[in-house]
């Protein structure tokens, strides 16, 4: 009956207004008093006609919607990360003509670069064990840098390459303790490095391949440097060709901090193309409920079309 439909519509409208109030309290929606709506239109000053009615001003131009993507959760799958990254990259490129790297949501928390220095243990010092590990964030800031005491006695410090001396081992922490600290940092991260399999081997750890970015295996970097795709290229040469800087010079050995920072710089240099290529290799996405033609947009007030986190807030 008309009266029953009116009551049902009234109940839906009431739930809608309650949820609007929640969004306003959380700062996700401007308050009704300012005449702002979800459509992104600015408040309009009404003009009064001669007959006493009002009409909106014709000189007001609605502001374009600002699309904000929700940040990914720490447990997001690798597929979701790559797709989300690709969407953000394409959105930034189309809106400004260039990539605004600082605006991407997932980069600061999701990306780290690592480099390890090894010493020789075992017979004739041929076994490589971890002696120093450095981890930097997306901006190149050091978040971990410690000397590590190998499990076996050191036979060859390899100082010319590693920069490690006997003095460094005096305050080094045990391997198991360092391993636990480092793996906690790498968990759920996309890890950048050069010939990174050597670092993981020293850590006695295997990181998921789809969350690993190895600059020594990147065709994009090799092409940009004008080097053959199948060539084994060193971090030192990539830095010289692409970043125009010299690293690993002198006789005091390599700096794992400098190497990790350089690997991250190289990754960021070709990040857009690298991530887009990875995203294109992923299987097709399932249709979104929002764009699914089978979804009835006229029923947007129904509970099923509201975010689950909002439903759990107590309404």
Question: pLDDT of 255-296, one tens digit each?
Answer: 999 999 999 999 999 999 999 888 887 655 555 454 444 444
Q: Could you tell me the pLDDT band of residue 201, with boundaries at 50, 70 and 90? A: very high
pLDDT at 29: 67
Task: Say which range, 42-46, 90-94, 220-224, has the weakest mean pLDDT.
Answer: 42-46
Q: Could you tell me the pLDDT band of residue 46, with boundaries at 50, 70 and 90? A: very low
Q: b/e for 244-282, b at 16 or more Cβ within 10 A?
A: eeebbeeeebbbbbbbbbbbbbbbbbbbbbbbbebbeee
Q: Quick one: fold of 108-281? A: Nucleotidyltransferase; domain 5 (3.30.420)
pTM: 0.59
Tell me the mean pLDDT in the region 127-134: 96
Task: Say which range, 29-38, 200-209, 279-288, has the weakest mean pLDDT.
Answer: 29-38
- Domain residue spans of the chain: 108-281
Tell me the mean pLDDT in the region 88-112: 54
Task: Say which range, 7-16, 192-201, 241-250, has the weakest mean pLDDT.
Answer: 7-16
How many of the other CB atoms lie within 10 Å of CB of 32? Answer: 12
How many of the other CB atoms lie within 10 Å of CB of 78? Answer: 16
Tell me the mean pLDDT in the region 58-66: 47
Per the prediction, the chain carries an average pLDDT of 75
Q: Could you tell me the pLDDT band of residue 53, with boundaries at 50, 70 and 90? A: low
How many of the other CB atoms lie within 10 Å of CB of 133? Answer: 25
């Amino acid at each position: 009956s008309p009266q029953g439909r009116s009551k049902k519509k009234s109940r839906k409208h009431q739930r809608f207004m309650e949820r609007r109030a929640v969004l306003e309290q959380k700062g996700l929606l401007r308050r009704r008093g300012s005449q702002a709506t979800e459509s992104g239109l600015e408040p309009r000053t009404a003009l009064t006609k001669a007959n006493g009615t009002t009409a909106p001003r014709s000189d007001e131009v609605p502001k374009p919607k600002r699309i904000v993507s929700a940040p990914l959760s720490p447990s997001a799958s690798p597929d979701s990360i790559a797709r989300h990254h690709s969407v953000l990259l394409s959105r930034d490129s189309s809106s400004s003509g260039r990539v605004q790297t600082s605006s991407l949501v997932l980069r600061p928390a999701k990306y780290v670069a690592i480099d390890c220095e090894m010493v020789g243990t075992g017979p004739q010092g041929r076994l490589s064990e971890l002696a120093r590990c450095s981890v930097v964030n997306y901006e190149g800031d050091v978040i971990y840098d410690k000397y590590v005491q190998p499990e076996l006695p050191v036979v060859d410090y390899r100082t010319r390459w590693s920069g490690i001396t006997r003095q460094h081992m005096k305050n080094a922490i045990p391997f198991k303790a360092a391993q636990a600290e480092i793996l906690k940092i790498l968990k759920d991260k996309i890890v950048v490095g050069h010939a990174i399999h050597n670092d993981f081997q020293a850590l006695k750890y295997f990181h998921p391949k789809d969350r690993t970015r190895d600059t020594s295996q990147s065709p994009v970097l090799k092409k940009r440097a004008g080097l053959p795709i199948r060539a084994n290229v060193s971090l030192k040469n990539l830095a010289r060709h692409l970043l125009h800087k010299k690293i690993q010079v002198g006789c005091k050995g390599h700096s794992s901090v400098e190497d990790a920072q350089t690997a991250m710089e190289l990754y960021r240099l070709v990040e857009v193309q690298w991530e887009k290529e990875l995203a294109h290799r992923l299987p097709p996405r399932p249709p979104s409920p929002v764009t699914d033609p089978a979804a009835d947009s006229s029923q947007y007030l129904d509970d099923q079309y509201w975010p689950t986190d909002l439903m759990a807030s107590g309404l």
